[in-house]
């Protein structure tokens, strides 16, 4: 018998799991009231904007991957692009070599709210008021402030007072940072949600008309007006230690809406894994699987050095290709078919030796070699900024000042399932927009200010985001959704979890409780875009022998604090209708519920 930190939730009615217990309970309550997985996902997500404001917000970004029972897998892309004014010429005129990790120059068009409304309109069954009521109540009446949120605000309180007074007004009411576990209210945010509902209901009794009216109120109405009025006059201090004005306008918001697209998939040991396209980092998990299929992982110890080394080396190769070749396929040719081909990955697998690589080794894709060379040159360049760490989202729980991400997975009794990884619009990313109760995002920091790349800053181009939920289907009828926050680590932690689940038949919760690891070798996605060749991090539960073996293989091993790596959640439906769900015990925050 395998002992776990908590039971794996099982039932036949429905399951909801997310990175905050309140949000998971809200999602389950929607299912109990007759809503489907899409209704529950929207209610869960909007609640996460309230209870985890250091990890996501309404003006952030959102990819979701979902499957309606009996239909094909689809993706909701609520990763909005750069504004019309976000030109290379304008940003270079600010004497920048990197886009700052915070502030108005880092802002792309807000995407999350419209993405959730698109899902609710087309696939949900409940009204706008039904799914937003919980979030409105928690914002207006208060919720217990997570200690990590309280610590984050306390660490930024002086900065807010000096540089971002609109944030100080919201996050430090009466001039004081909120106490851990104290009741915290955001009445401006409650008013914003409430007005969106009210303006939606003014369109009549039809739920679709109401949702479309709320989307217009966001993108063309009072929300866009408030954002436009603020950005046109605000001169905001950012992580570059300079003040900058933004380029986002109301016209940008009015001209964009969230969309659907097919998933990208790859077959692995009976499973078909579905991911978002190369405008995210999602395909790196598929590339890693394509490399690792050439190794007998099942013969290795899932907690041992050989498995860890092999997976780390595959990650390095896949992530090198991410940096060289990924970008918005609507604006650049992305050689994804080649990158996932068996011939290509058989050769990539041969590059993994018994020793750790310290080189950046993107593949040489015919016709795209210049992009590989450009990546190698960038990774060798020290963009260093001593004060950059407070704005970098990766491994947010190792410091209280970094933004990060949230995740949710939901399955209903009809077999509909949703995985989503919302992020952006953190309280650390930008000042609060006056009167709205939330800040703008900082996703534009993932663009480069050099010509000719699929990730070069350009108006209308989506940044190559790190947000990457997963959905997998098995040939025996099992289907599951899973994911994690964690910036560049998202697909690394998901990969380790998935491999253990597939090859050693571990339960969802046991896979989550097992120690995790990740590479820091490749160039990071967030300001100041550091690469740390040969470096990796793992949890101490691997044991001294494994750690010593990895070091002998040439890895630069950082041992994390116990129970500090990864924030995974997952939900699965068996062919007989039994559902399972799990959530990581790390941070004592994520929870799975169901019956």
DSSP string, 489-531: GHHHHHHHHHHHHHHH---HHHHHHS--EEE--SPPSSTT---
Please choose, from the candidates 68, 140, 132, 221, the residue with its C-alpha nearest in 3D space to the C-alpha of residue 573: 68
Q: How far apart are CA 279 and CA 462, in angstroms?
A: 7
pTM assigned to the model: 0.96
* Burial state string for 184-216 with b = 16 or more CB within 10 A and e = fewer than 16: bbbebbbbbbbbbbebbbebeeebeebbbbbbb
Average of pLDDT values for 514-525? Answer: 96
CA distances from residue 26 to 10, 40, 81 in whole angstroms, order as listed? 18, 8, 31
CB neighbour list of residue 419: distance below 8 Å, 6 or more residues apart: 64, 65, 66, 407, 408, 409, 469, 470, 471, 481, 482, 483
What is the per-residue pLDDT for 393? 42
What is the per-residue pLDDT for 383? 59
Please choose, from the candidates 8, 12, 22, 124, the residue with its C-alpha nearest in 3D space to the C-alpha of residue 66: 124
pLDDT band at 398 (very low <50, low <70, confident <90, very high): very low
What is the per-residue pLDDT for 389? 37
Average of pLDDT values for 304-333? Answer: 98
Average of pLDDT values for 78-89? Answer: 98
What is the per-residue pLDDT for 54? 94
477 φψ region: left (φ > 0), alpha (ψ -120 to 50), beta (else) = left
Strand partners, 243: 237
Sign of CA dihedral 156, 583, 278, 284: positive
Does the pLDDT value for residue 397 go beyond 70?
A: no
* Polymer length in residues for the chain: 595
Sign of CA dihedral 552, 304, 557, 286: positive
Q: How far apart are CA 530 and CA 526, in angstroms?
A: 8
pLDDT band at 66 (very low <50, low <70, confident <90, very high): very high
What is the per-residue pLDDT for 404? 82
Contact, 200 vs 217, CB < 8 A? Answer: yes
Contact, 270 vs 476, CB < 8 A? Answer: yes
What is the per-residue pLDDT for 399? 38
DSSP 412-448: ETTS-EEEE--B---TTTSPBPTTTS-B---GGGGSB
The per-residue pLDDT for range 293-315, each reduced to its tens digit, is 999 999 999 999 999 999 999 99
Phi, psi of 370, rounded to the nearest 5 degrees: -65, -30
- What tokens were used for 108? 């792309």
Q: What is the C-alpha end-to-end distance of the chain, expressed in Å? A: 23
Does the pLDDT value for residue 388 go beyond 90?
A: no
The per-residue pLDDT for range 166-181, each reduced to its tens digit, is 999 999 999 999 999 9
Does the pLDDT value for residue 394 go beyond 80?
A: no
Chain mean pLDDT for the chain: 95
The per-residue pLDDT for range 557-566, each reduced to its tens digit, is 999 999 999 9
SS3 192: helix
What is the per-residue pLDDT for 380? 84
CB neighbour list of residue 381: distance below 8 Å, 6 or more residues apart: none
- Residue with structure tokens 């090198």? 320
What is the per-residue pLDDT for 379? 87
The per-residue pLDDT for range 432-450, each reduced to its tens digit, is 999 999 999 999 999 999 9
Q: How far apart are CA 288 and CA 436, in angstroms?
A: 42
Q: Which long-range contacts (CB under 8 A, 24 or more apart) does 27-31 make?
A: 27/408, 27/410, 27/593, 28/593, 28/594, 29/134, 30/126, 30/130, 30/131, 31/410, 31/412, 31/413
Does the pLDDT value for residue 184 go beyond 90?
A: yes
CB neighbour list of residue 53: distance below 8 Å, 6 or more residues apart: 149, 186, 426, 427, 438
pLDDT band at 382 (very low <50, low <70, confident <90, very high): low
Average of pLDDT values for 44-63? Answer: 97
Contact, 579 vs 14, CB < 8 A? Answer: yes
Longest dimension (CA), the chain: 69
């Amino acid at each position: 018998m395998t002992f776990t930190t908590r039971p794996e939730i099982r039932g036949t009615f429905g399951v909801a799991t997310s990175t905050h217990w309140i949000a998971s309970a809200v999602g389950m309550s929607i299912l109990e009231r007759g809503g489907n997985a899409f209704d529950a996902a929207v209610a869960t997500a909007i609640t996460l904007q309230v209870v985890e404001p250091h990890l996501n917000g309404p003006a952030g970004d959102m990819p979701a991957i979902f499957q309606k029972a009996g239909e094909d897998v689809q993706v909701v892309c609520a990763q909005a692009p750069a504004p019309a004014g976000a030109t290379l010429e304008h940003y270079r005129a600010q004497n920048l070599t990197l886009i700052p990790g915070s502030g108005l120059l880092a802002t792309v068009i807000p995407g999350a709210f419209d993405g959730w409304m698109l899902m609710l309109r087309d696939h949900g069954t409940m009204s706008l008021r039904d799914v937003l009521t919980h979030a409105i109540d928690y914002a207006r009446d208060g919720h217990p402030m997570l200690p990590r949120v309280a610590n984050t605000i306390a660490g930024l309180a002086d900065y807010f007072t000096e540089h971002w007074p609109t944030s100080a007004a919201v996050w430090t009411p009466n001039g004081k940072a909120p106490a851990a576990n104290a009741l915290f209210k955001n009445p401006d945010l409650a008013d914003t949600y409430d007005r969106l509902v009210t303006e939606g209901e003014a369109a009549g009794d039809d739920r679709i008309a109401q949702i479309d009216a709320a989307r217009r109120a966001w993108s063309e109405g009072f929300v866009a007006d408030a954002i436009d009025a603020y950005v046109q006059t605000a001169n905001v201090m950012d992580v570059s230690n300079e003040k900058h004005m933004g380029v986002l306008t109301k016209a940008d918001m009015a001209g964009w809406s969230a969309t659907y697209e097919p998933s990208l998939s790859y077959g692995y040991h009976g499973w078909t894994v579905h991911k978002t396209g190369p405008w995210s980092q999602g395909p790196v998990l598929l590339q890693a699987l394509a490399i690792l299929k050439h190794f007998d992982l099942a013969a290795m110890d899932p907690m041992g050095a050989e498995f860890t080394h092999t997976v780390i080396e595959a990650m390095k190769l896949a992530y090198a290709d991410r940096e060289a070749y990924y970008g918005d396929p609507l604006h650049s040719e992305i050689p994804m078919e080649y990158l996932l081909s068996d011939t290509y990955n058989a050769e990539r697998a041969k590059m993994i030796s018994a020793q750790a690589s310290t080189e950046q080794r993107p593949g040489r894709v015919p016709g795209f070699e210049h992009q590989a060379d450009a990546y190698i040159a960038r990774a060798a360049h020290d963009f260093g900024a001593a004060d950059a760490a407070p704005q970098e989202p990766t491994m947010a729980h190792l410091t209280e000042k970094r933004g990060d991400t949230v995740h949710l997975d939901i399955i209903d009794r009809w077999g509909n399932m949703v995985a989503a990884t919302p992020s952006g619009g953190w309280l650390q990313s930008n000042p609060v927009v006056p009167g709205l109760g939330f800040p703008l995002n900082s996703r534009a920091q993932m663009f480069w200010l050099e010509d000719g790349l699929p990730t070069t800053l350009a108006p209308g181009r989506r940044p190559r985001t790190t947000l990457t939920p997963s959905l997998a289907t098995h040939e025996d009828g099992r289907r599951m959704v899973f994911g994690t926050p964690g910036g560049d680590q998202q697909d690394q932690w998901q990969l380790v979890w998935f491999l253990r689940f597939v090859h050693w038949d571990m339960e969802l919760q046991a896979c989550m409780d097992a120690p995790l690891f990740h590479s820091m070798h490749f160039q990071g996605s967030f300001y100041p875009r550091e690469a740390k060749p040969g470096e990796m991090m793992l949890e101490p539960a691997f044991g001294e022998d494994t750690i010593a073996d990895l070091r002998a293989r040439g890895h630069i091993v950082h041992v994390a604090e116990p129970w500090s790596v990864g924030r995974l959640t997952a939900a699965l439906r068996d062919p007989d209708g039994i559902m399972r769900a799990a959530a990581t015990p790390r941070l004592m925050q994520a929870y799975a519920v169901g019956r």
